[in-house]
Amino acid sequence: MVLKEKRENVLLLTLNRPEKLNALTGALLDELHQALKEAQEDPGIRALLLTGAGRAFSAGQDLGEFGEGKPDYEAHLRRYNRVVEAMAGLEKPLVVAVNGPAAGAGLSLALWGDLRLASQEATFTTAFARIGLVPDSGMSFLLPRMVGLAKAQELLLLSPRLSAQEAMALGLVHRVVPGERLMEEALALAQELSQGPTRAYALTKKLLLETYRLSLTEALALEAILQGEAGRTQDHEEGVRAFREKRTPRFSGR
Ligand code: LHQ
């Protein structure tokens, strides 16, 4: 259900239920969580790329998973939440390639990518309100921060289906590329990131998340602590040496 393929220092993860538009089930989420955990622990992996198999990125929760029963969504969301925590806490850059429709929690997962590419055919919809639900998988946290409160209100209450171009104009994705070039471009980006200063990336990601809940004084203090940590990495040393020697740095991720 989740394909894993290592290409040099990049781990390519593919949501793989193409016949169901990669709709999310508990089992798929558990596999995704396991893959993220392994990637976090593997020093040989320095960037990740997440995409979907077939014509969709992900249609969100598989609405057929629970049959006619009355499921306990609060309990079910624990499986989503540990995936989201693993994505948000991932100490390596995550590129997401949105290859087709992304809806509901499928859109949430896409937004947790640090850099998000979309094919021209991709579409984006929050979907939750259409079926009488509230945003989840971190969307209530991330969306207003990405697009501002006013736009988040509109996207969450009306669930319009946005084109890739519209999503880019709002900042939901960073780049739109023709479908046939999506994976090539996304892999090139992930490969570039996999040769970067991995610790500095991890600490930057941490800062961008943490500062939301901090005062300016606290944010400045955290910057100083994490800069102290970045300053002690071999990659910082190499970066400065390469700058002096007017050459491209060779970062090791340490
Ligand atoms: C689907 C689905 C789907 C099953 C399309 N499931 N079959 C978390 C935890 C706890 C509780 C619940 O919620 C959550 C978080 C969530 O994610 S809630 C939101 C769940 N997702 C949705 O409501 C999205 C529903 N789907 C759509 O809006 C569209 O299908 C999208 C935009 C994904 C794709 O549109 P199209 O490309 O036009 O395809 P389609 O609508 O024709 O769908 C193709 C088939 O896929 C169709 O089946 P059929 O047998 O008629 O060919 C759909 O029923 C099926 N499908 N999404 N989530």
In a domain, 234, yes or no: yes
Give the number of domains in the chain.
2
pTM (2 d.p.): 0.97
Shared domain check, 205 and 171: no
Of 121, 234, 122, which is closest to residue 110 (Cα–Cα)? 122
CA 63 / ligand 1 centre spacing (Å) = 7
Question: Is 77 a domain residue?
Answer: yes
pLDDT recorded at residue 73: 95
Q: What is the whole-number distance in angstroms between the Cα of residue 149 and the centre of ligand 1? A: 26
Domain membership of residue 20 (yes or no) is yes
SS (H, E, C) 152-206: HHHHHHHCCCEEHHHHHHHCCCCEEECHHHHHHHHHHHHHHHHCCCHHHHHHHHH
Question: Is there a contact between 36 and 82 (Cβ–Cβ < 8 Å)?
Answer: no
How would residue 68 be classed by pLDDT, with cut points 50, 70 and 90?
confident
Q: Is residue 252 part of a domain?
A: no
129 and 214 co-located in one domain: no
Euclidean distance between CA atoms 82 and 3, whole angstroms:
19
Beta bridge partners of 137: none
Identify which of 228, 218, 205, 107 has the alpha carbon closest to the alpha carbon of residue 161: 107
| Residues framing ligand 1 (Cβ under 6 A) | 20-21, 23, 59-64, 73, 76-77, 80, 101, 103-105, 125, 127-128, 131, 133, 136
Long-range contacts of 67-74 (CB under 8 A, 24+ apart): 73/133
Our mutation pick for probing the ligand 1 site, out of 29, 62, 63, counting the most ligand atoms within 8 A of Cβ, is 63
Looking at 173, 194, 215, the residue that finishes a domain is 194
**Mean of the per-residue pLDDT values of the chain:** 97
Residue ID of nearest Cα to ligand 1 atom 14: 61
Examine the domain organization and report whether 144 and 188 are in the same domain. yes
DSSP reduced 3-state for 249: coil
**CATH of residue 156:** 3.90.226.10
Do residue 55 and residue 83 come from a single domain? Answer: yes
Is 81 part of any domain? yes
Q: What is the mean pLDDT of residues 115-138?
A: 98
Residue identifier of the C-alpha nearest atom 23 of ligand 1 = 127
136-158 pLDDT, tens digit per residue, is 999 999 999 999 999 999 999 99
**Same domain (yes/no): 112, 128:** yes
* CATH label of the domain that carries residue 217: 1.10.12.10
The pLDDT of residue 94 is: 98
* Residues spanned by the domain of 77: 2-194
Q: Which atom of ligand 1 is nearest to the CA of 60?
A: 17
**Angle at 191 (CA atoms; ends 187, 194), nearest 5 degrees:** 140
Does one domain contain both 174 and 231? no
pLDDT over 90 (residue 70): no
CB atoms within 10 A of CB 54: 16
The reply to whether 24 and 136 lie within a common domain is yes
Residue 251 lies in a domain: no
Q: Let me know whether 170 and 229 are in one domain.
A: no
CA-proximal residue: ligand 1, atom 47 (nearest)? 20
Sheet containing 123-125: order of strands: 101-103, 123-125, 162-163
**Residue whose CB lies within 8 A of the most ligand 1 atoms, among 20, 61, 79, 137, for a mutation test:** 61
Q: Are residues 165 and 179 in the same domain?
A: yes
Do 87 and 207 belong to one domain?
A: no
Q: Which residue, judged by its Cα, is nearest atom 43 of ligand 1?
A: 21
Query: Distance between CA 167 and CA 163 in Å, rounded?
Result: 6
